[in-house]
């Protein structure tokens, strides 16, 4: 498995994003943090490389994780990017998100073992 692939993290909680970045690094994954949907979408627009994976929080101000996913899926260039949606909301039913064609769904607090298993299953093996 090639663990040098970069993972994008989009979460308005700086603390959560930094924890996740550190946890991924310990497990051999590089990542880049965005604390807003606008920052992420601007990066994706200006970066010609399509990231392998995005881990995005559902509830964020201005542009939600749901809106980010919808914009990515509408882009011919980006729609192949794998996405894991995370949320702290307890009442959400995962079946409400099946139409988004995302590769994973996790509730906060994130179980790191499960997340790493999802990531290794999602990322292409070289």
Report how far residue 42's alpha carbon sits from residue 112's, in angstroms, rounded to the nearest whole number. Answer: 28
Q: Is residue 72 within 8 Å of 103, Cβ to Cβ?
A: no
Q: Is the predicted pLDDT of residue 101 greater than 90, yes or no?
A: no
Distance CA 114, CA 15 (A): 20
Is residue 3 pLDDT above 50, yes or no?
no
> Is the pTM above the cut of 0.95?
no
Model confidence at 116: pLDDT above 50:
yes
Give the domain 6-122 fold: Rossmann fold (3.40.50)
Tens-digit pLDDT profile for residues 58-76: 999 999 999 999 999 999 9
Beta strands in the chain (DSSP E): 6-10, 30-34, 53-57, 82-87, 104-107
């Amino acid at each position: 498995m090639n663990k040098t692939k970069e993972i994008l993290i989009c979460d308005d909680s700086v603390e959560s994003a930094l924890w996740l970045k550190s946890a991924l690094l310990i497990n051999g994954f590089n990542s880049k943090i965005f604390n807003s949907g606008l920052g992420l979408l601007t990066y994706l627009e200006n970066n010609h490389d399509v990231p392998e994976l995005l881990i995005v929080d559902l509830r964020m101000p201005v542009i939600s994780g749901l809106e980010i996913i919808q914009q990515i899926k509408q882009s011919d260039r980006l729609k192949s990017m794998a996405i894991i949606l995370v949320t702290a909301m307890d009442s959400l039913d995962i079946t409400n998100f099946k139409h988004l064609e995302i590769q994973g769904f996790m509730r906060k607090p994130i179980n790191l073992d499960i997340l790493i298993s999802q990531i290794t299953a999602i990322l292409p093996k070289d």
